[in-house]
Chain A
Amino acid sequence: MKEKIADLEEKARRLRVAIVKTLHKSQSGHTGGSLSAIDMVCALYFHKMRHNPQEPTWDGRDRFVLSKGHAAPALYVTLAECGYFPSEDLMMLRRLGSHLQGHPDSKGTPGVDVCTGSLGQGLSMANGMALGLKLDGKDNRVYAVLGDGELQEGQVWEAAMAAAHYKSDNLCAFIDSNGLQIDGDVSKVMNVSSISDKFKAFGWNVIEIDGHDMGQIIAALDAAEAHKGAPTAIVAKTVKGKGVHLFENKASYHGVTPNDDELPEALKCLGCFD
């Protein structure tokens, strides 16, 4: 297990490098939230989820919904690393004609099942998938990643209510709780705490973790799968911009990309010297 965790940590480091390089190239996109979510996305794709990059629409796959669609770079670098599409495509992020749209688009990108980006909608879609898979008697699981600022959208709670009502225990949602949103601290813009208490009150199984601790992420995913009769919310305390001190805990890096001056330092932070 120790080796597995070390492997995943190394994978996540490389994915962070790819996020920084991709966003430096595109000069448009969301740095902070991509870096806060990447450990969870990495654990899902390289450890937990059943999926087949050679057959993106394989019927037996688990499903993933990036509800905080602005963290698309985290998803794209992971899909590229898995082999869903060539890594060179990353350099076309947000360019005219690229399948890598600013926010995930199921029409063009292999491995993306739904369109997200307008906040608050992904949990509804994930629960719809969970309901459909259960209806077919399948044991596939559905995973979603939401932001903490995103929880301000009322639709999230409509979905939370419905998922508990229908006992969607094949659904597991990460809350990437980095505490920051565009206008500043989540607690100051519109306080959503206590996130755990809210999901518990809606009838969810709730697990609190450090969202950058690979061991805790994996243990929480296993516990979520073992829990029957209710969906699970993994409330993950994270750091916006995690891994690059220039960007860490800065709301100003929500939608700002690394510039030419910052790139060498950012890569150095991530142990990348090429």
Chain B
Amino acid sequence: MIATRDAYGEVLAELGGENDKIVVLDADLSGSTKTAVFAKKFPNRFFNMGIAEANMVGTAAGLAAVGKIPFLSTFAIFAAGRGWEQIRQALAYPKANVKVVATHGGVTVGEDGGSHQSVEDVAIMRAIPNMTVIVPADGEETKGAIRAAAAYKGPVYVRLGRNKVPSVFPAGHKFEIGKGVVVVPGTDLTFITTGLMTAQAVIAAEKLKAEGISARVLHIGTVKPLDKELVEEAARETGAVITAEEHSVVGGLGGAVAEFLGEACPTLMKRVGVYDRFGTSGKSDELLKYFGLNAETLIEEAREIVSRKK
């Protein structure tokens, strides 16, 4: 169990030692986003920009224009929200080589409440041309994703979480941008999941097996570009798809899969996520239950969708 933001802090500091082009910017949240680990090791390549996200994005664009590889971090609500137009104009439009690594995505931000819980960031980042959007499932995948983002030339949005999450992938797991991973094979339906919901889908698939329901788990680490091949294969082979994400069902992974399958291979489908509403204060685990973002919901939806197939 490790929080994806902790894995980020660790790998970013490693990368800093490997490539001196990497610079890091933060907006007064370096202790929480874990960029402080990098800042301590490479103080001259760390820029605290204060509580001013728009300027942070523009500054990163300028650093990229002179050959640096900037990573900028703050909470998802501020990175994608406050900085949206700057990300569009200064990063995506010119294809600037800047990595926006947003932590504290989703409702597991917890007690801070709805004002701080970003349930729209994946959708609004995904809508921007040239953007790559990554939502890792666990610490190991985060490390691979951050390394892949550093190696990729162009803007990337990586969404991380606040809390410790169960491991899905083994140590040394290789992450490839745009490639999904079948974590559990199955034939009756497919859970297409991202972020912390992949671990829940693995638990759900295990329990469903005892009921005689064979559920595939297809983890989508890169929401954009979507791995259309594996998504279509899952739809054709299992005939039913349940997407799950710690995000609004509008425009995120569920939206992406629905848009794609609606055109390429209309399939029985259900989206599990936050149904077009804001978050609220509470403990992280209480909130996951409150919003139905757990294995129990996936099991119920799986039974339901399999019954609809017949």
Contacts and interface: CB of A to CB of B under 8 A. Distances in A.
Interface stretch (B48-56, B166-174, B262-270): B48-56
A130 B45 contact: no
B95 interface: yes
Contact of B59 (A113, A117, A118, A125): A125
Interface in B41-67: 44-45, 47, 49-50, 52, 54-67
A208 to B, nearest CB: 25
A68 interface: no
22 contacts: A106-B65, A106-B94, A113-B65, A114-B61, A114-B65, A115-B93, A115-B94, A120-B54, A121-B54, A121-B58, A121-B89, A125-B65, A126-B62, A127-B62, A128-B59, A128-B63, A128-B65, A129-B65, A131-B47, A135-B23, A154-B54, A159-B59
B85 interface: yes
B68 A135 contact: yes
Interface string A196-211: 0000000000000000
Contacts of B23: 132, 135
B90 interface: yes
Nearest to B90: A121
A115 B67 contact: no
A136 B21 CA distance: 10
A155 B50 CA distance: 13
| 4 nearest CB pairs, A to B | A128-B62, A124-B58, A158-B55, A132-B66
A161 B61 contact: no
A134 to B, nearest CB: 10
Interface of B: 23, 44-45, 47, 49-50, 52, 54-68, 70, 85-86, 89-90, 93-95
Interface string A160-172: 0110011000000
A148 interface: no
A82 interface: no
Q: Which of A128, A132, A155, A166 has the most CB of B within 10 A?
A: A128
Q: Which of B54, B56, B59, B64 has the most CB of A within 10 A?
A: B59
A162 B65 contact: no
A159 B50 CA distance: 11
Nearest to A121: B58
Given A155-B86, A162-B49, A130 B62 contact: yes
Nearest to B53: A158
B58 A155 contact: yes
A105 interface: yes
Q: Which of B57, B58, B90 has the most CB of A within 10 A?
A: B58
Given A154-B54, A155-B54, A162 B94 contact: no
Given A125-B65, A132-B66, A135-B45, A162 B59 contact: yes
Given A105-B94, A135-B23, A159 B58 contact: yes
A107 interface: yes
A155 B65 CA distance: 19
A136 B67 CA distance: 10
A63 interface: yes
A195 interface: no
Contacts of B49: 162
A133 interface: yes
Contact of B47 (A105, A118, A136, A166): A166
A124 B89 contact: no
**Overall SS of chain B's interface:** helix
**Overall SS of chain A's interface:** helix
A65 B61 CA distance: 12
B86 A129 contact: no
Contact of B85 (A65, A118, A123): A118
Given A105-B94, A121-B90, A132 B52 contact: no
A125 B56 CA distance: 9
Nearest to B52: A158
Q: Which of B54, B60, B65, B66 has the most CB of A within 10 A?
A: B66
Nearest to A126: B62
B12 to A, nearest CB: 17
A220 to B, nearest CB: 23
B54 A124 contact: yes
A129 B62 contact: yes
B21 to A, nearest CB: 9
B96 to A, nearest CB: 8
B86 A121 contact: yes
Contacts of A63: 65-66
Contact of A158 (B54, B64, B85, B89): B54
B70 to A, nearest CB: 8
Contact of A114 (B44, B45, B57, B94): B94
A131 B62 contact: yes
A107 B94 contact: yes
A135 B59 contact: no
Q: Which of B61, B62, B68, B93 has the most CB of A within 10 A?
A: B62
Nearest to A115: B94
Given A114-B94, A125-B61, 14 more contacts: A63-B65, A106-B94, A114-B65, A127-B58, A128-B62, A128-B64, A132-B23, A132-B62, A135-B44, A155-B58, A159-B59, A162-B49, A162-B50, A166-B47
